[in-house]
Amino acid sequence: MINKTIPVLLILMLTFVAGCTEKQTEISENATITHKTYGAFTLPEMQLQVLTVNSTSVVFTTSDNEGKFMKTYEKPFNESAFRDLTNLFEENGFLQMEERYIPQKGQPVVADVGTLEISLNGEAREKTVIVDPYSSEYMPEGLQKIDSALVELRAYALSTSPEEAERIARTWVKAAPTYSFDGFDLEMEAHEVLESFPEQHFLNYTFTSRHGGYGNRTDRIVTEALTPHSIEVIVSEGKVMSAVIDGEWNEITQGPLEIEPDETDITENATGTSGAEGNTVEMKYRISEEKTPWDQWYEEGNIQFIKAPTQPELITAYYGTVYSIEISDIQRVDSCDLGYLCGEEFYVGDL
């Protein structure tokens, strides 16, 4: 009786172990996962965005369609985290999904979002799923979860830890012309992280200069007086994007921070009070053939829209992000309507 039972149990155990082994090796630990997007309305140098994940690293690259202007961001990964990711692929049946998802009859078509490709390349299995256009509306729930996890890893690749941001900012300020000339006693006063994409670190520092003025004042006549300063530094993607001293000096461009007088004309309304609660301030911008500050800001990659923004949308985003000014209404108005000589147009907004 005993001799007959043992072989049966042994066969069952071997079958069970074999089944477990087969499930565990469905996606190899040496696999590579990619998340690729292209064709969206965005900056030319960001037309192609590729996230590559394996058991040791997360790498995100951006470039144009020909591979030029490439930027690379890399963060470490580990086998445990990668196993969790491949488990997510297995649990949601990635290998059994359709090869392409497109809008179905009756679904609206989303424009300017490009195409998504998610690929799994392992030793034994390879699979690519395409979503065109790239919108969660066209994905099954399991693919939405996979896409969401990979987008989070893309943000991780672009992220800068608070400690790293503080190190980058402090090192940069100390080497910059104003502080390196005669600054001392650099102290951090505040550090705020803006949940943007990519994230931005706003760091406020104070320091003292032994003379008045800004920048490298070698061979200049300077006042010999201890001068306190504050500097706001913005760190994103591992580098300093902005540095302004005392709200008036751009430490990156080494020039005064000011709006050109012919760019923006801000006037008070009939109440005569620009800052009182319940009152508004009217801003007028003369339209010309020259590039506007918000168009230049947009081209430099400071913001991304899912689809092409209108001028009012871009103006609102520009003043809200750069100057923390909320614009409630924007209109394009002929100069005749403003009491000026006819022949010009203005953007008029209420702040």
> Given this model, what pLDDT does residue 308 score?
65
> Given this model, what pLDDT does residue 42 score?
79
One domain for residues 41 and 138: yes
Residue 25 within any structural domain of the chain: no
One domain for residues 334 and 271: yes
Residue 170 within any structural domain of the chain: yes
Residue 46 within any structural domain of the chain: yes
Cα separation values, 160 from 50, 70, 81, 153, Å: 19, 19, 19, 13
Residue 6 within any structural domain of the chain: no
211 or 7: which carries more pLDDT confidence? 211
Lowest mean pLDDT among 154-158, 212-216, 311-315: 311-315
One domain for residues 52 and 92: yes
Lowest mean pLDDT among 152-156, 207-211, 308-312, 320-324: 320-324
Q: Whole domain around residue 189: which residue ranges?
A: 162-256
One domain for residues 242 and 275: no
One domain for residues 252 and 182: yes
Residue 15 within any structural domain of the chain: no
Number of folded domains in the chain?
3
Across the range 323-340, mean pLDDT stands at 64
Residue 289 within any structural domain of the chain: yes
pTM over 0.95: no
- Report the distance separating Cα 78 and Cα 42, nearest Å: 32
Are 294 and 316 in contact by the 8 Å Cβ rule? The answer is no
Across the range 334-344, mean pLDDT stands at 51
Residue 22 within any structural domain of the chain: no
Of the three residues 99, 134, 158, the one that is the final residue of a domain is: 158
Q: Percent of the chain at pLDDT above 90?
A: 44
Lowest mean pLDDT among 11-15, 89-93, 154-158, 192-196: 11-15
> Given this model, what pLDDT does residue 334 score?
64
pLDDT band at 301 (very low <50, low <70, confident <90, very high): low
Q: Please choose, from the candidates 94, 102, 99, the residue with its C-alpha nearest in 3D space to the C-alpha of residue 142.
A: 94
